[in-house]
Amino acid sequence: MDEFIPNEQPPTGEDTANQLGDLKAENDSLRNALRLSEARGSLTSELRQAGAISPELLIEVAGREMQFNDDGTIANTAAIVEKFRRQFPAQFRSATLAVAAIDGGAGQSTQPALTKEALAKMTPAQIAALDWQEVRRVLSGR
C-alpha cells in the first residue's frame, strides 16, 4: 500500500495525463536526437569516403539538407555529397591535385636486409632463389 503524506494531494487524472504527455514528448525528442546522431555519423562516413577534408564542418551545413526515410536513415546522402562537392570544392581532396612524392629514398633497396635469422626461417627452395653473393655476405658476417 502506498504511504500517504499528509500535505500532499493524491494525483488526479489530469496530473497523470500531463505526466504522460510530458513523457511522450520527451520520448519523441530522444528518438529525434538518436535519429539525427545516426544520420550525422552515416553522412560523416560518406563524406570521408568522398575525400572531404573536414566532414564535421560540412555536417553543420548538411543539417538543413537532410531528408529521412521512414526507418530514420538519410534518404539523400548521395545528393548532399554531390552538392557539397560542387558548392565547396576546396573541402574535398582531388586526385588531380595530389602532390607527387619527393622520393628521397630513390635508388635504395626497398627489400628488407637479409639476416642470419631470416635465412634460418627459410626453406632450402627459398634460399636457392636468393642472390648467392648476398647469402655469402650474410653468412660470413660482413
DSSP string covering the chain, please?
-PPPPTT-PPPPHHHHHHHHHHHHHHHHHHHHHHHHHHHHHHHHHHHHHTTBS-HHHHHHHHTTT--B-TTSSBS-HHHHHHHHHHH-GGGB--GGGPPPP--TTTTS--SPPP-HHHHHHS-HHHHHTS-HHHHHHHHHT-
Mean pLDDT across 22-27: 91
CA distances from 133 to 60, 88, 105, 120, 130 (A): 62, 57, 24, 17, 9
* 2 in any annotated domain: no
Domain count, the chain: 2
> In sequence order, what are the beta bridge partners of 92?
52
In this structure, are 74 and 25 located in the same domain?
A: yes
* 100 in any annotated domain: no
Question: Tell me, what's the pLDDT at 62?
Answer: 82
> In sequence order, what are the beta bridge partners of 115?
none
In this structure, are 82 and 42 located in the same domain?
A: yes
Q: Is the pLDDT of residue 93 over 70?
A: yes
Question: Tell me, what's the pLDDT at 2?
Answer: 58
d(Cα 72, Cα 69) in Å, to the nearest integer? 5
In this structure, are 118 and 85 located in the same domain?
A: no
Q: What is the mean pLDDT of the chain?
A: 80
* 7 in any annotated domain: no
Q: Is the pLDDT of residue 1 over 80?
A: no
Range of the domain at 36: 13-91
d(Cα 34, Cα 27) in Å, to the nearest integer? 11
* Residue-wise pLDDT tens digits, 6-15: 666 666 677 7
* 105 in any annotated domain: no
In this structure, are 120 and 87 located in the same domain?
A: no
Q: Is the pLDDT of residue 111 over 70?
A: no
